Amino acid sequence: MISDSESLGQPQPETNLMKKIAILLSAFAFLAVSSCQTMTGLGRDLTGAGQKLQNAANR
């Protein structure tokens, strides 16, 4: 027997859940990839600041 939601072409709750999971995983992957570049830049900045501090201490 076909339910009313199937006959109207509306997505099933399982389909909506899978779409939500796919969107969340995509967003997480995007953030993970973009944060790599941010952390690399932060590492360079901290290294530069540490070297300047060390040079000032050596004077």
Q: Does 45 score more than 60 pLDDT?
A: yes
> What is the pTM assigned to this prediction?
0.44
**What confidence score (pLDDT) does residue 11 get?**
61
**What confidence score (pLDDT) does residue 25 get?**
92
Percentage of the chain beyond pLDDT 90 is: 19
Q: What is the pLDDT of residues 15-40, one digit of tens each?
A: 888 899 999 999 988 887 777 677 78
For the chain, the average pLDDT equals 79
**H/E element holding 13?**
helix 13-58
Question: CB neighbours of 12 closer than 8 A, spacing ≥ 6?
Answer: 5, 6
Q: Give which of 15, 19, 37 is closest to 27, Cα–Cα.
A: 19
